[in-house]
Each structure stands twice: as structure tokens, then as C-alpha cells.
């Protein structure tokens, strides 16, 4: 028997509004001051009237367009009814049969073709069933002593706007699920619709997992679906799915229980990262009977093609499109393009500015992914507060391209610029030229001194010459080194060529 893994995800994304979705309370994450961001609307007091935050709808539409969804011209609000202490009204305002958007797709690169030599990347197309808006619940805090003491409820978060994104069951491995979530998070941060801060719960994921087992006679049998709730990190999502896959496979081999058979109903579980295993959750309602009905307090939202197009026009280029574009425009490897785009919009903007002004995308990519990355890490800085701004880096790279300085010298200048910045000196292209001059880093264009040095070096290295001539090509390295030492600023390529010519005489 073999099996195929079937995964669908439901992702809750907190939208970056200042206020809650149906009232004017702040959405600031504020766990140290519980219950200070509430009002009659989000407390669910009788007689309070919710009114939709237009910015929440706008950000929702932006998100949905990023997911390639269609935007419904007409959408309404429904009450999803269940009892839980973090839900003050006894129902959640959500969307049932007329969500504001539906039917999109996201392509996820699932194979690292670029790293192992450039075949076409493998791509998984994940269909989006729908994306709807809803309000978040509050937060319950359980008594950790385990002695059944009271639970505490903080309603600061109650009423925070969420987009719930529901995928079709199109993912085929835990790794694919993680990659999908990474691409989704990247897209949401590019669009600036959510900060996607997982520690603060701005992005949460539920995973529906089961197996399609191919039996010896060729028939396919689905195992019972398990929904893993409330995964708040990508790593946990991956681990939880891997655990469930192994558990379901083992269980199916032992019991043969298939979806829908006795004992084969859908179950809801949580994931315990400490134990690395899932555990059953108590069902909130028997058979989840939410008795949705239209919320009479809220009126429908209608939109037009013109409005949708104007929102579309305000959207930035999506990461997937941008990856492909910078790859084509600056002749990058898929790997470099991904490393730059995946670090976020600020890094991508920085890169493009440098690449365009210095005219060498490959050089800019190398510096960004190597020297800059290492320096930012060491200095604990982000691209936005890194002291070397794009025009200065571009000027430096321009000097390399024009063969005025070597890469090694450029590194020296780069380090000095950072020191300059730390002691409060302004950085500029002029400062680069100053450094090149004062340290004698300019590549010596006049080959006279190089030839003199070569003659001198050759005169006292009979052994190295003999080694080289007897086939030890490495011996030339030492000779180049000595020439470079005596002519500061010599271009190693020129030295090598001239040395080879001399040795070949």
C-alpha cells in the first residue's frame, strides 16, 4: 500500500487597522493591560450597534486580490453562534454564504531547482476557495496549576479584524504547507495588509490533514480527516502535519478505518510542540451547529468594478512577479532573486536601486546577499537603518565595475565606511574616492610598475618557476601574491595574465 498526503489550510490573518472591525477601540497588542480596549460594541452589551471599519474592508480586498480571488459585488454579514468565554456576544460576526471574495490561486515553488543546477522549478498551484472577513475573539488564559482554578478572559483582542483564507486541499506534504505559508506571509507583508507577527497571533493556521491510501487492489481509500487547530508557527505547522501523517498511516494499517466509517468522523486536535504530538480537543458544539443567520445590525457591502480596479492600482508588485522580473531584468540566478525578494520589500527596493544605478545586478546581488547580509547581522541592523544607503553602495560597486578598484579593496572601503558611520561621519561617493586615494587602492593602470615587479619576483623564485613549468599550476598563486604585495592596487587579473605571458616565453 502507498498513500498520498492531502492537506488544506485555513489561515487567519489579522489586518493592520488602527481600530477594530466594528467599533473604534484600538487594535494595539497590549497583553500587559488587559481589558482596556473595549466598548459596548466589542463587549457585546445589549443595544450596541456595530459599524464596519471601511479600512478593514479595503485591506481585505487588497489581500483577496493578492490571492488572485474574485471580489463579490455584494457581500453580507452573518452570525456564527457558539458559546465560549472569549466570545462575549455568544456569536461571532463572520461571513457565511456570501463572502466578500472567492476562487483564487497561489503558486508556490516547491522544488529548489535553482540550488542544484537550474531545471525548471516545480510549482504547486494552491486554489483558494474563499477569503472572508470576521472579528477575532478575545483571549482566554488558563490556570497553569492544573487545579481547576478560574480561567481569565482578556477582551482587548475581541473584534480585531481578521481575514480567513480557506484553501482547497491541494497541498501534498508538510514541506509544501510550510512553503505555502511562507509565500503567503511574504505576500501579505509586501501588500502591507498585516504585520504577520506570529508571536502576537497575527497569523494563525488550522490544517486539515488526511491520507488517500492506495490499496493492493488499486482502489483508493481516504483516512478520517483531522483538523489541527491554532498553529502559531510555520515550524510547528510542519511538525504537526508530519506527526499526523505518521499517526494516520499507522492507525490505518492497524484498524483500516476509513473516512465516514464507524470511528471515522472528523476530529479536532491541538498540537503540543513540547511533546511533538497532537491531542484531541473537546468539541465546542455538538456537530458544530453554528446556526448562521444574517446579522440584522449590519448592512451589506456593495462594490463596483471601478472601485476594485482602483484598489488594484494601489497594490505593489507581488513577490512572485517581482522575483521573476528581477531575475530577467538583472540576469540573476533564481536563487539570488529568491534570496533578495524573500527578505521583504525594503531589501528588494534597496537592491533595485543599487542594481539600476550601478548597472550591474549580479554584483549588487552578491553584495546584498553576502557582505551586506553579514554586516547587518553582525551590527544587528535592518536594511532600513543600515548606514550605507543605496547610492553609496552603488558608487562603490561602480568603482569595481570600472576596474578602478578590486573587490578586495572595495571590501576594505565598505568596512571603513561602516566605521565612519559609527563615528558619525556622513557617507558619500566622495568619501569612497578619498579612501581609494589615501590608501592607494586604485588599480594601477600603468603596467610599467607591474612588469618591473614581475621581473623582480621571477628573478628570486627559481623554484616556483620550475614547479610551474613541471605542471604545478598552483605555483603561480604565490608569484601573483608577491607581485601584488609590491604593487599595491594592481589588478590580480592583469598580474596573472602578464605573469603567464612571461612564463610562457
Of residues 20 through 79, those in contact with other proteins by CB under 8 A are: 23-26, 33-40, 43, 45, 51-57, 74, 76
- Decide: is 276 part of the binding site for other proteins (CB under 8 A): no
C-alpha closest to that of 136 among 166, 102, 168, 93: 93
Stretch touching Zn ion by CB under 5 A, among 32-40, 50-58, 257-265, 388-396: 32-40
421 binds, among other proteins, Zn ion, none (CB under 5 to 8 A by kind): none
Tell me if 227 sits within 8 A of 267, measured CB to CB: yes
Pairing of strands 267-272, 226-231: parallel
Q: Are strands 301-302 and 226-231 parallel, antiparallel or unpaired?
A: unpaired
- Say if CB 183 and CB 106 are below 8 A apart: yes
Sole binder of Zn ion in the list 25, 188, 211, 435 (CB under 5 A)? 25
Widest CA span in the chain: 99
Nearest residue to 124 (alpha-carbon basis) of 209, 5, 255, 256 = 5
Does 141 contact other proteins by CB under 8 A?
A: yes
- For Zn ion, the closer CB: 37 or 404: 37
266 near other proteins (CB under 8 A): no
- The CA angle 453-457-461, to the nearest 5 degrees, is 170
End-to-end alpha-carbon separation of the chain, Å?
A: 71
CB of 25 to Zn ion, least distance (A): 3
Q: Which of 6, 15, 23, 207 binds Zn ion (CB under 5 A)?
A: 23
- Whichever of 41 and 318 has its CB closer to Zn ion, that residue is 41
Give the strand pairing for 70-71 and 226-231. unpaired
**78 membership: H or E segment, kind and range:** strand 78-81
> Which residues inside 86-105 make contact with other proteins, applying CB under 8 A?
98
414 binds, options Zn ion, other proteins, none, Cβ within 5 to 8 A by partner type: none
Distance CA 43, CA 154 (A): 11
Alpha-carbon span 447 to 443, nearest angstrom: 10
Secondary structure letter of residue 225 according to DSSP: P
39 counts as binding Zn ion under rule CB under 5 A: yes
CB of 74 to other proteins, least distance (A): 8
The single residue among 4, 123, 125, 151 that binds other proteins, judged by CB under 8 A, is: 151
Among positions 378-417, residues that touch Zn ion (CB under 5 A) are: none
- Output 169 or 264, the one with its CB closest to other proteins: 264
Q: Which is nearer to Zn ion, 39 or 501 (CB)?
A: 39
Size of the site for other proteins (CB under 8 A): 58
Q: Is 281 in the site for other proteins (CB under 8 A)?
A: yes
- Binder of Zn ion out of 42, 71, 137, 203 (CB under 5 A): 42
Q: In whole angstroms, give the CA distance from residue 304 to residue 285.
A: 38
Residues whose CB is less than 8 angstroms from the CB of residue 3 and which lie 6 or more positions away in sequence, other chains included:
211, 212, 213, 214, 249, 252
Among positions 346-385, residues that touch other proteins (CB under 8 A) are none
Q: How far is the CB of 331 from other proteins (least distance, A)?
A: 43
Which residue's CB is nearer to Zn ion, number 26 or number 303? 26
Distance separating alpha carbons of residues 16 and 10, to the nearest angstrom: 19
Residues at the interface with Zn ion (CB under 5 A): 23, 25, 39, 41-42
Q: Which residues bind other proteins (CB under 8 A)?
A: 17-19, 23-26, 33-40, 43, 45, 51-57, 74, 76, 81, 83, 85, 98, 140-143, 148-155, 270, 279-282, 285-286, 289, 291, 294, 296, 298-302
Amino acid at each position: 500500500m502507498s498513500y498520498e498526503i492531502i492537506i488544506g489550510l485555513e489561515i487567519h490573518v489579522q489586518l493592520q487597522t488602527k481600530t477594530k472591525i466594528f467599533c473604534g477601540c484600538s487594535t494595539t497588542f497590549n497583553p500587559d493591560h488587559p481589558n482596556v480596549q473595549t466598548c459596548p460594541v466589542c463587549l457585546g452589551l445589549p443595544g450596541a450597534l456595530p459599524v464596519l471599519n471601511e479600512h478593514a474592508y479595503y485591506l481585505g480586498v487588497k489581500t483577496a486580490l493578492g490571492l488572485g480571488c474574485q471580489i463579490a459585488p455584494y457581500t453580507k454579514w452573518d452570525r456564527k453562534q457558539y458559546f465560549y468565554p472569549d466570545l462575549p456576544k455568544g456569536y461571532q460576526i463572520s461571513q457565511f454564504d456570501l463572502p466578500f471574495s472567492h476562487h483564487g490561486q497561489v503558486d508556490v515553488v516547491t522544488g529548489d531547482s535553482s540550488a542544484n543546477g537550474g531545471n525548471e522549478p516545480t510549482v504547486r498551484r494552491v486554489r483558494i476557495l474563499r477569503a472572508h472577513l470576521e472579528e477575532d475573539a478575545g483571549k482566554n488564559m488558563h490556570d497553569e496549576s492544573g487545579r481547576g482554578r478560574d480561567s481569565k478572559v482578556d477582551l482587548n483582542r475581541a473584534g480585531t479584524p481578521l481575514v480567513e483564507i480557506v484553501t482547497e486541499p491541494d497541498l501534498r506534504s508538510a514541506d509544501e504547507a510550510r512553503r505555502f505559508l511562507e509565500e503567503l506571509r511574504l505576500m501579505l507583508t509586501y501588500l502591507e495588509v498585516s504585520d504577520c507577527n506570529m508571536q502576537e497571533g497575527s497569523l494563525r493556521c488550522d490544517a486539515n490533514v488526511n491520507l488517500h491510501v492506495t490499496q493492493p487492489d488499486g482502489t483508493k481509500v481516504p483516512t478520517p480527516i483531522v483538523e489541527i487547530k491554532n498553529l502559531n508557527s510555520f515550524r510547528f505547522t510542519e511538525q504537526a502535519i508530519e506527526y499526523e501523517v505518521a499517526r494516520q498511516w499507522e492507525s490505518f494499517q492497524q484498524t483500516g478505518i476509513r473516512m465516514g466509517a464507524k470511528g471515522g468522523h472528523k476530529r479536532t486536535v491541538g498540537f503540543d510542540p513540547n511533546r511533538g504530538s497532537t491531542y484531541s480537543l473537546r468539541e465546542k458544539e455538538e456537530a458544530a451547529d453554528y446556526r448562521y443567520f444574517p446579522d440584522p445590525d449590519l448592512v451589506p457591502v456593495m462594490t463596483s468594478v471601478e472601485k476594485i480596479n482602483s484598489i488594484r492600482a494601489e497594490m505593489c508588485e507581488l513577490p512572485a512577479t517581482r522575483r521573476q522580473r528581477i531575475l530577467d531584468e538583472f540576469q540573476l540566478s533564481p536563487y539570488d532573486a529568491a534570496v533578495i525578494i524573500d527578505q521583504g520589500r525594503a531589501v528588494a527596493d534597496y537592491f533595485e536601486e543599487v542594481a539600476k544605478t550601478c548597472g550591474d545586478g549580479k554584483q549588487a546581488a552578491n553584495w546584498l546577499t553576502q557582505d551586506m547580509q553579514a554586516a547587518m547581522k553582525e551590527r544587528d541592523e535592518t536594511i532600513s537603518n543600515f548606514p550605507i544607503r543605496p547610492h553609496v553602495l552603488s558608487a562603490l560597486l561602480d568603482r569595481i565595475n570600472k576596474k578602478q578598484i578590486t573587490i578586495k579593496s572595495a571590501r576594505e572601503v565598505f568596512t571603513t565606511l561602516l566605521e565612519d558611520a559609527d563615528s558619525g561621519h556622513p557617507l558619500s561617493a566622495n568619501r569612497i574616492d578619498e579612501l581609494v586615494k589615501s590608501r592607494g587602492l586604485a588599480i594601477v593602470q600603468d603596467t610599467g610598475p607591474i612588469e618591473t615587479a614581475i621581473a623582480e619576483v621571477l628573478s628570486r623564485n627559481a623554484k616556483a618557476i620550475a614547479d610551474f613549468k613541471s605542471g604545478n599550476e598552483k605555483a603561480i598563486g604565490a608569484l601573483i601574491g608577491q607581485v601584488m604585495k609590491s604593487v599595491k592596487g594592481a589588478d590580480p587579473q592583469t598580474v596573472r595574465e602578464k605573469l603567464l605571458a612571461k612564463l610562457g616565453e
